[in-house]
Amino acid sequence: MKDQLTLSISTINGSKHWYFSKAMQRNLKTFLVLFVFALGATAFLINHLYTRVDDAVLKQAKLTEHSRNIRQELNSLKALKSELESDLSEREERVQLVSERLGELEKVLGVSSQTSSDNLDARLDTAAITSNVRMVMLNQIPSGSPVPNARLSSAYGKRIHPITKVSKLHRGLDFAVNTGTKIYAPADGVVEVTRRSNKGSGNFLRLQHSFGFSSSYSHLKGFKVKSGQFVKKGQLIALSGNSGLSSGPHLHYELRFVGRALNPRSFVDWNLNDFEDIFTKERNIRWESLIKTVEQRVAQQLQLSSPKVVLLAENSK
């Protein structure tokens, strides 16, 4: 037949023939086309899947590397956290130690009791000002004895003069010391007068100190400083003697405030451990005003942001 397709296959065993009609040919062509298309689509899909797999493998490798880096960073952060916690703990211990030692200092200084909630910087400022105010005052205002460990032979006040036998105010202290005993400046100052004489006060020396205070020394043997010379607390200024109107070797020691005689005994006993006592013993001085002045000066020298008010002024009322 004209539209019939014959397929023959010959072997040693003979020949076989297959006959395909026109409809079968069309179906076969359609099948082959679909088969080739399916094969191509399958190949494309497989290639696409391989590409996706490669991309996935690459992304997985990157994620693995990223995860490794994150773990390393996390380990570093953990180590840093541990180090910071250790450092913080050490700092807290130091702060606690500073706070405890500051509390002890506050007790010594007589500063009002502080609580743990108070700002440590404010407490340190207060302690710094308080301690410096005391040191400034003890260095610039006469304190302590000009002849250490000497026996007091005559106090301040009315007495019968040992030579004239007349009752009069004894405006100083007499220290029973041998001739040639060293006399030291009780505070920073400047030598106002060095005067030699065989009468009255005998060889006489007067120092001018800060804030209106002055000190004088009578019946001296000799001077170790000159008029106009600046001296520091504890500096050798003279030697005791028996010059002038004197019944025996001694040092007559006077203190004055703006020219008014003071009882030197309170100042001889004045020291860091009994700092506030003088405010009640010597009431003729406006200590509150003086302390505020010194506080402001000290705060400026320490360059504190704001002066902290210490309770010295309250104690002096």
In a domain, 108, yes or no: no
Q: What pLDDT is attached to residue 225?
A: 97
Q: Are residues 48 and 161 located together in one domain of the fold?
A: no
* CA-wise closest residue to 99 among 113, 129, 122, 120: 120
Of 69, 86, 118, the position where a domain reaches its end is: 69
Record the pTM.
Answer: 0.63
Among 233, 249, 269, the domain-final residue is 269
**Quick one: three-class SS letters along 166-205?**
CEEEECCEEEECCCCCEEECCCCEEEEEEECCCCCCCEEE
Q: Tell me how many helices (H) and strands (E) the chain has.
A: 6, 14
Domain, as residue range, for 19: 5-69
Q: Same domain, yes or no, for 57 and 151?
A: no
Which of 69, 104, 119 is the last residue in one of the domains?
69
| 162 assigned to some structural domain | yes
- Exposure of 294 by Cβ count < 10 A (0-12 exposed, 13-18 middle, 19+ buried)? buried
Question: How confident is the model over 72-94, as pLDDT tens digits?
Answer: 999 999 999 888 888 888 887 77
Same domain, yes or no: 265 and 152:
yes
H/E stretch holding 21 reads: none
* pLDDT of amino acid 7: 65
CATH code, domain carrying 212: 2.70.70.10
Check residue 33 and give its pLDDT.
87
pLDDT of residue 85: 87
Q: Is residue 95 a part of any domain in this protein?
A: no
Q: Answer whether residue 288 is part of any domain.
A: no
Same domain, 151 and 264: yes
What's the pLDDT at 314? Answer: 44
Domain count, the chain: 2
For residue 313, the model assigns a pLDDT of 41
* 154 and 259 fall within a common domain: yes
Mean pLDDT by 10 residues, the chain (317 residues): 64 71 76 87 88 88 90 90 87 74 62 56 70 91 95 86 72 95 97 95 97 97 97 97 91 95 95 89 91 86 54 44
